[in-house]
Chains A and B, each alone.
Chain A
């Protein structure tokens, strides 16, 4: 149940969905020879209203979009084969996972000239060296979302301490239920890297969370921004994009990346190995990296873009928004969570089960 909230559309933000054609009447009408259809598997509300229609106008290729809610669901679907999808949007660690499991098609960079638009900082990430299997679509950082008026003496809760290790906001705290993120950030708070966490440190984090549990109102499934907005809680662990959205509606809310540093994520476009339309899939990915098309998308979904050319076209309240793009000094302390083998997820999950059951 991980990253649904941060994909969530803010109703009223985007223009009305005019002429979206990705619905498709599933085979009822097949215009004679008007081009192929590709199947795009995306997070919900993670694309511009007109992007798919614009692409069809430009290329003649129809895009049929389906939605998934977590990387695990995506993985479950792709791993059995015969999924029928041509373009998918896994997050960074799952790019590694799926490429190691031989589920992704190596990209042909010659077919994606728009790769030049991508910020060079994103071109050789640890999770996909040389961008062999994926191109970056968005990136995100975890941090603390909070209600300013509820903070003691107007302080900024700029430490994970307020979530993990303090009864200051007893009963007003919501943490992510995603076991991996929770354990990794706990380790970060204790001064370790989010990767290669030792068994000892993990035990410490677990004990800390068991001790903290009575102070925690809920482990939320990435709907922390809603819990904040409905005043269910005052301080939550959330992604920057989510909080950026709700700040537009409630200026009493704010976001901070804790001083200990945090964890980065990046969602990427990739092609499953068994795609039946790899040529069209490449064309679609290329289109998504186009500066104009990209600007239209990010304007609507409000996530940080790795697309430098698209970012240049964006208005100042996006480009200079400290929630969407936190200050470089704190960003320097953030790391990507690496894929550390499938057993790792089980270790984290078992710890989480113990915490909840305690």
Chain B
């Protein structure tokens, strides 16, 4: 815990307090948020057009809420994102630890193999998944929830967990191995060392990885489309046909709901994990001692 005892000097490194960076951050934030905020604002616009303000209305929300297929698609997407995130975080973290911890034959190949899902064109993977679930592993129709979404969840994990592995590995690189050795010298088992020393250290990257995996899953259209069966329309697939062309503020309304829901979920997650879940561990446990 050497970092914990080191005094963090005020002043020089507090870049956040410097105005050029503040301006920069503000500009980036405007760039990222202005389109989304305007999208949300115009979901209340009393006109089909999304660029001219004609007065306030809730009718697009009414329409969206009455659109049963949209609601179902929305539920499907959240379910898929949840399950694929859970699996991705576990599998991705395991991959990262193996690569960081061990020397083994085929390591380079495994490492390169993990990078491929990140880079392969979506459409290529989508077609691969389509053929795979049609010919190699036909996914039965009419399964109960959430098994009916299994094929899509599997496909999503395939492209999400390597991202988690990348994020976790970046974090592991800073791990002080002496800690691990000390734990083992003191008689801790491999497993205990893992759970008590390594996992807490990588916790922030697990959260970051989970956020990334969740995003990727909610975002994906191409692979989902190819993998989806009759019962499994997801939000992007549904919205695609609504948005792609002839967009109405109903889509703005639906996406506003999506944004609000995810924001709420995030805050809930933070509450459960403690308010500093996103940064936990970055200061080497100093937060715990305060």
**Residues of A near any B CB (own CB < 8 A):** 1, 4-5, 7-12, 16-18, 20-28, 39, 41, 43-45, 64-67, 69, 73, 76-77, 80-85, 221-223, 225-226, 229-230, 249
Contact = CB atoms under 8 A, between A and B. Distances in A.
B241 A67 contact: yes
B6 interface: no
Nearest to B226: A76
Contacts of B237: 67
A22 B68 contact: yes
Given A22-B68, A39-B231, 8 more contacts: A5-B245, A16-B62, A17-B66, A26-B148, A66-B231, A69-B240, A83-B229, A226-B245
Contacts of B71: 23
Contacts of A25: 72, 145
A65 B225 CA distance: 15
Given A24-B72, A66-B230, A76-B130, A226 B247 contact: yes
B143 interface: yes
A80 B131 contact: yes
A82 B68 contact: no
Given A23-B72, A84-B230, A230-B51, A223 B66 contact: no
Contacts of A66: 228, 230-231, 233
A82 B134 contact: yes
Given A11-B250, A27-B142, A64 B230 contact: yes
B69 interface: yes
A4 B244 contact: yes
Contact of A84 (B60, B229, B240, B247): B229
Residue from B62, B130, B245, B249 having most chain A Cβ neighbours under 10 A:
B245
Given A27-B144, A67-B233, A4 B226 contact: no
A64 B229 CA distance: 11
A18 B66 contact: yes
B48 A67 contact: no
B21 interface: no
A4 B145 contact: no
B287 interface: no
Interface in B114-141: 127, 130-131, 134-135, 138, 141
A37 B280 CA distance: 50
Given A85-B230, A230-B49, A80 B135 contact: yes
Contact of A221 (B130, B225, B232, B245): B245
Interface in B40-60: 48-49, 51, 60
Nearest to A1: B244
Given A27-B148, A44-B242, A80 B63 contact: no
B245 A81 contact: no
A222 B49 CA distance: 18
B68 A28 contact: no
Contacts, number: 116
Contact of A22 (B69, B248, B250): B69
Kindly state the interface size class of chain B when it binds its partner.
35 or more
B246 A17 contact: no
Contacts of A20: 67-69
Nearest to A220: B245
B282 interface: no
A64 B143 CA distance: 15
A84 B141 contact: yes
B238 interface: yes
28 contacts: A4-B244, A8-B242, A8-B245, A9-B242, A9-B246, A10-B48, A11-B249, A12-B48, A17-B63, A17-B66, A18-B66, A20-B69, A24-B72, A27-B144, A39-B230, A39-B231, A41-B230, A44-B241, A45-B241, A64-B230, A64-B231, A67-B233, A67-B238, A69-B244, A76-B127, A80-B135, A223-B244, A229-B49
A122 to B, nearest CB: 26
Contact of A223 (B62, B229, B246, B250): B246
A320 B147 CA distance: 51
Closest 3 CB pairs of A and B: A223-B245, A8-B246, A44-B241
Contacts of A24: 72, 231
Contacts of A43: 241
Contacts of A230: 49, 51
A84 to B, nearest CB: 5
A11 B229 contact: no
A300 to B, nearest CB: 14
A249 B54 CA distance: 15
Contacts of A85: 230
Residue from B138, B143, B229, B247 having most chain A Cβ neighbours under 10 A:
B229
Contacts of B67: 17, 20
A223 B240 CA distance: 13
Contacts of A226: 245-247
B75 to A, nearest CB: 9
Residue from B68, B131, B143 having most chain A Cβ neighbours under 10 A:
B68
Contact of A11 (B63, B230, B231, B241): B63
B136 to A, nearest CB: 11
B227 to A, nearest CB: 11
A356 B249 CA distance: 32
Given A21-B68, A80-B134, A27 B244 contact: no
Given A20-B69, A22-B69, A82 B138 contact: yes
Nearest to B225: A73
